[in-house]
Structure 1
Amino acid sequence: MSTPRPPPSVASTSRTKPLQQPLAKRLLFPSLPPDAPYPPLFSSDAVSSELDPVLYDLIALALRAFVSPWWSKISRYDKEFIPQINRILIHVIQVLELRLCQLDLPRLLFDDIPVILTQHYRDYRGAASKLSTSYASGGSYTLPHLFHQLQPHMAISQHGTLNQEYYRHIVDHILRVALPPEDYASEAERYIIREVVLKLVLVDILPKITQPWFIQLAILNALGSEQSQAGNYIPSGATSSSSTSTTNSSQSLLILLLSTVQKLSGASLAIVHAYKQAVSTIKSVNQLPEPGTYPLFSRPQSPRQTDSRDSSTPSSSSDPMSPSRRESQHFGEAPSHSMSSPLPAMALPLLILLSEILNTAERLAAKIITTALYLFIALCTPFLNRLMPHLLMTSLSSTFMLNLTRAAKRTLFPNGYPGPPMEEPTLDEQAVIRAKLIAMRPSGALGIQTPPLLTI
């Protein structure tokens, strides 16, 4: 008679059971050894190494959710398709990183985008003022039609319909730069990637994020979360309201005094920390090079100065300058005459955009404040031209990108899989969202007698 075998111990089972590899290694790098690190995703040394596993995990979750379901029906046993897509994505990310490093980001964010948005606000108000006039053909033209007459573009029609052929050509040009040559040469692969990107951008993303209710709901959620955190704070004395009636008045005064001292000490520490941070920032900003050395602050020479320089140079006629060299000389070199071509104020387009959004031209007090800010920017232009790029590059750090990637992972894949799609609210719900946003006031002393600023 055979004796029954004893059950295996916990230690033996824990030794024999292999450790489960992360999803990114199992799906994207199946041939990678378990102890080997991830391949570097970014070529820049300024990017933290902690960003690679998080971004690889996000890519693996996206491929498992959107590619594996339909590819497993086509070829169930093919395990090389997902790693091949990951290889192409790595190449695209590295190409985009190289181009972002060459981009003049301060000029894009502080100059180009504010100028475009300011022009959009002005054209919108101009179109709204022509609704009940003869410009609208007796009221037959709608507001989108009048706005489209002021800013016609082939990418979008007057009814808000996106031109898919226009965006198809744009994506094709981007793929020509981003994809490897052997992948771009394959028409089937290029067309599949192009149509997938078009479907994601034109069908799933752009029609939703450009809706007013989506923008208003995002602002409402951002402001509501901050106010809920501030509103959830319950003072320690409020929980014991029933017992305060039995306490002595001297104890109440002592508690009030101690709480006042605590608040004053906290405010003093915050002021000291802000002062030290401001002093450190000012010192680091003053050590930066002169603004004129950046291409952002250079100005093209006037034709009169160019003609005088050409006439004074004997070899200018015998050695004509190519257009590329002339453009690089005009826009790449710092001007030597700082008095005749002053440096542009980097904060000025942002202030113009803010005044256009708030419509300060029709409000006397706001117009006075805006004029004072104009004078302040004019006086502090050299310092602000150093400070704003410094603050931008400091905020766009590896920690910021890491937190942004983790937030995108939690939002898009809360349980490892895509969350339920957001349903479009009805017209009544959209009106309620807009009313809540207009009626919202900032918390604290700034919320007292604050007029609604979101009306256009």
Structure 2
Amino acid sequence: MSSRRSVGSQIVFNNPRAISVRSGGSKTSNSTINVTLARRLLFPYLPLTTPLPPLVGTYGTPEENEKRRNDPAFKALNNELYDFLALVVRGFVLPWWSKITPRDKEFPQEITRIAASLIKQVESRAMAADIPALLANAIPLLVAQHYQDFRLAQAKLPTSYATGLQGHSDSLPHLFHSFQPHMAVTAEGTVDPNYLRQVVEHIMKACLPPEDWEAEAERAIIREIVLKILLESAFPRLSQPWFIQKTMLELLGPPKETVPPPPVTRSGSAFHTFVILFLSAVQVVSGFAIAAIAGLQATLHTVTEVNASTFRQKTTSQTGEDMAFPTLEMLAEILNMRERAAAAAILYLLQLILGALAPFVNRLVPYLFYTHTHPSMFTKILAQSKKVLFPDGYPGPPPVEPTIEEQVLIREQLEKRLFDCVFPVAAKLLFGTKLSIQGRTIRGILDPLGSKQCNVHLLIFLLDAIVVSLFPELALSPTSKREPSDGATDADLDAMIYSPYDKSDPLDGRSNSPGQGTP
């Protein structure tokens, strides 16, 4: 009989009875066939020589799709998606489905087919959406609003605004919730599963064909799987301050090792020392000149490419703002630049420069996005997501919260790493002239991300912004706030998502601009 051994997410079958008949006798040879987990669970009847059907790269002409199908980067992304989907099926479907019908292999295939339709439709919508405006406009404004509201709530803690909240263990999340109310989040940071359930339901209704939408059992299973991943795996991790700080440490990388200067010796004449200093100065100047020339050539090349690019260009985002100002506003809020004279002067100077270069920047942002977005980047994101969500090949337990001492150590390491990333001269201009002011600025960067309850609000608003960018029909428009349109019911309107681009709050009519009020 053939033996089987598990290797990661692959199953290796060793067949010692592969017999080759020749004249004069027979000979036994070993043949090893690698069967991935996706083939074993999702495509059990597909021949091993037949490649898996593509999940991504099917949004163009047949010639373009064929070219992407043969691209190694798209192949790696396709395999990573199937492996992720197989882990989801094994972790969330097979534990209860195998108890009902252990030999049935068609149900996972049906779920895979529906999930593949969803992935393809989401990819086609992402190609048609204005993703550069989402990354350069909506998300920076939401982050800036989060920092602004957090500091405002923190400033009101010792005032009479927190008088009625003295019975709560932490008044800060309740004050913050009053600045950023959301129907899906409570003041304690609890997410309403019905809100996310309705979001996933609307996405599936917009993406699935009628025959798949009518399959209520499969549709409900996929919806609950997505909901379980969001509520039990993604949100509990992404909202933890220590997890955010640890992720920032990993993104910044280890600090550079400083080489100590050579010891000073008294031997040698003054002329020899002068020659060494002169040659060192010449080397520094020549290196700076070469770097300046290379930078100028790269800038001219980029300007030429941007002006001649054929990418889908949009001069303004959905809010009518230039694409450069929201990112600058986010940096100004994070660094709290308006509180220091030197940093405020730099901010106003950058605003003047970006105002003069606004038409070019509006073309530069889509160019940079579409030229630097590669399938390999999404492959790395999926691989990292698998490690976080499925650490041992199965859904991981809730994150183990580090001790108070470990969290303090992570925070101190990150503060030191952020301070070391900036040159001393730039640190005095951006963070302050004194070390005490610089330390307070560094702590002010991390404090707005130090509350789990407040971070949940930011995650929900970011999720809304992403969903509305891909599915603009889910945004709450002014017409839908007054009366149902196109046969929509009141339940459909209740499940609609607030768009971060709306200028008014449908609850009370207050200002809802990303720059002021609640996002």
Within 5 Å, give how 1:101-180 maps onto structure 2: 101-137=127-163, 140=166, 142-180=171-209
Pick closer, same or farther for the CA change 1:187–1:199 going to 2, 3 Å.
same
| 8 Å Cα contact 1:216-1:434 kept in structure 2 | yes
In the other structure, the counterpart of 1:73 is 99
Q: 2: distance between equivalents of 1:261 and 1:409?
A: 51
Q: Which of 43, 46, 53 lines up with 1:32 in the alignment?
A: 46
Q: Which of 294, 318, 327 lines up with 2:314 in the alignment?
A: 294
In the other structure, the counterpart of 1:369 is 346
1:453 aligns with 2:442: yes
Higher strand share: 2
Q: Which of 326, 351, 372 lines up with 1:349 in the alignment?
A: 326
List alignment gaps of at least 5 residues for structure 2: 1-18, 21-25, 432-437, 448-519
Q: CA deviation at 1:147?
A: 1.7
Q: 1: distance between equivalents of 2:299 and 2:145?
A: 34
Pick closer, same or farther for the CA change 1:259–1:23 going to 2, 3 Å.
farther
1:404 aligns with 2:404: no
In the other structure, the counterpart of 1:426 is 403
Q: Which of 18, 28, 33 lines up with 1:13 in the alignment?
A: 28
Q: Which of 78, 96, 110 lines up with 2:122 in the alignment?
A: 96
In the other structure, the counterpart of 2:55 is 41
In the other structure, the counterpart of 2:254 is 226
Superimposed CA distance per residue, residues 348-404 of structure 1 (whole angstroms, 9 cap, x where no aligned partner)? 111111101111111111111111111110121121111111111112122322343
Structure 2 SS opposite 1:137: helix
Q: CA deviation at 1:120?
A: 2.2
| 8 Å Cα contact 2:84-2:386 kept in structure 1 | yes
Within 5 Å, give how 1:257-276 maps onto structure 2: 274-276=295-297
| 8 Å Cα contact 2:136-2:323 kept in structure 1 | yes
Q: CA deviation at 1:93?
A: 0.3
Q: 2: distance between equivalents of 1:138 and 1:411?
A: 40
In the other structure, the counterpart of 2:511 is none
Pick closer, same or farther for the CA change 1:416–1:272 going to 2, 3 Å.
farther
The amino acid that maps onto 1:284 is E
Q: Which of 332, 356, 360 lines up with 1:383 in the alignment?
A: 360
Q: CA deviation at 1:210?
A: 0.9
Q: CA deviation at 1:26?
A: 3.0
Pick closer, same or farther for the CA change 1:435–1:18 going to 2, 3 Å.
closer
The amino acid that maps onto 2:212 is D
Pick closer, same or farther for the CA change 1:282–1:170 going to 2, 3 Å.
same
In the other structure, the counterpart of 1:313 is none
More deviation, 434-443/95-104: 434-443
1:284 aligns with 2:305: yes
| 8 Å Cα contact 2:140-2:326 kept in structure 1 | yes
Q: CA deviation at 1:218?
A: 1.2
Q: 1: distance between equivalents of 2:159 and 2:210?
A: 56
What TM-score does the superposition give when structure 2 sets the normalisation length?
0.64
In the other structure, the counterpart of 2:212 is 183
In the other structure, the counterpart of 1:193 is 222
Pick closer, same or farther for the CA change 1:195–1:23 going to 2, 3 Å.
closer
Q: 2: distance between equivalents of 1:268 and 1:409?
A: 46
Q: 1: distance between equivalents of 2:150 and 2:118?
A: 37
Structure 1 SS opposite 2:33: coil
Pick closer, same or farther for the CA change 1:186–1:62 going to 2, 3 Å.
closer
Q: CA deviation at 1:217?
A: 1.6
Superimposed CA distance per residue, residues 65-84 of structure 1 (whole angstroms, 9 cap, x where no aligned partner)? 44334433332211222222
Q: CA deviation at 1:176?
A: 1.8
Q: 2: distance between equivalents of 1:418 and 1:258?
A: 61
Structure 2 SS opposite 1:440: helix
The amino acid that maps onto 1:58 is F
More deviation, 261-270/391-400: 261-270
Q: 2: distance between equivalents of 1:24 and 1:88?
A: 15
Q: 2: distance between equivalents of 1:134 and 1:418?
A: 46
Q: CA deviation at 1:171?
A: 2.2
In the other structure, the counterpart of 1:338 is none
Q: 2: distance between equivalents of 1:353 and 1:411?
A: 28
Structure 2 SS opposite 1:21: strand
Q: 1: distance between equivalents of 2:155 and 2:53?
A: 57
| 8 Å Cα contact 1:132-1:139 kept in structure 2 | no
Superimposed CA distance per residue, residues 112-162 of structure 1 (whole angstroms, 9 cap, x where no aligned partner)? 222222222222222222222222237737222222222222111112122
More deviation, 388-397/180-189: 180-189
| 8 Å Cα contact 1:104-1:296 kept in structure 2 | no
How many residues get paired? 391
In the other structure, the counterpart of 2:244 is 215
Greater Rg by CA: 1
Q: CA deviation at 1:91?
A: 0.6
Q: CA deviation at 1:61?
A: 3.5
Q: CA deviation at 1:435?
A: 2.7
More deviation, 349-358/44-53: 44-53
Q: CA deviation at 1:430?
A: 2.3
Pick closer, same or farther for the CA change 1:74–1:87 going to 2, 3 Å.
same
Structure 1 SS opposite 2:401: coil
Q: 2: distance between equivalents of 1:219 and 1:364?
A: 28
Structure 2 SS opposite 1:131: coil
Q: 1: distance between equivalents of 2:389 and 2:285?
A: 42
Q: 2: distance between equivalents of 1:258 and 1:21?
A: 63
